[in-house]
A and B are shown apart, each in its own frame.
Chain A
Amino acid sequence: DAKTTQPTSMDCAEGRAANLPCNHSTISGNEYVYWYRQIHSQGPQYIIHGLKNNETNEMASLIITEDRKSSTLILPHATLRDTAVYYCIVRVGGAQKLVFGQGTRLTINP
Chain B
Amino acid sequence: EAQVTQNPRYLITVTGKKLTVTCSQNMNHEYMSWYRQDPGLGLRQIYYSMNVEVTDKGDVPEGYKVSRKEKRNFPLILESPSPNQTSLYFCASSLSGFSDQPQHFGDGTRLSIL
A contact set with B: CB distance below 8 Å: 30-32, 34, 41-46, 49, 51, 91-98, 100-102
Contact = CB atoms under 8 A, between A and B. Distances in A.
Nearest to A48: B102
A96 B31 contact: yes
B61 to A, nearest CB: 12
A44 B4 CA distance: 12
A41 B43 CA distance: 12
Describe A's contact surface by its main secondary structure. loop
A100 B43 contact: yes
B100 A32 contact: yes
Nearest to B48: A96
Contacts of A32: 99-100
Nearest to B49: A96
Interface string B84-114: 0000101010000111101111111010000
A62 B102 CA distance: 15
A45 B105 contact: yes
A43 B90 contact: yes
A12 B31 CA distance: 36
Contacts of B100: 32, 49, 51
A109 to B, nearest CB: 25
A98 B37 CA distance: 13
Contacts of A95: 99
B10 to A, nearest CB: 11
A93 B105 contact: no
A85 to B, nearest CB: 10
Given A46-B103, A95-B99, 20 more contacts: A32-B99, A32-B100, A34-B102, A41-B37, A41-B108, A42-B108, A43-B105, A44-B43, A44-B90, A91-B99, A93-B99, A96-B31, A96-B48, A96-B50, A96-B97, A96-B98, A97-B33, A97-B45, A97-B59, A98-B43
A9 B43 CA distance: 19
A86 B19 CA distance: 32
A32 B98 CA distance: 11
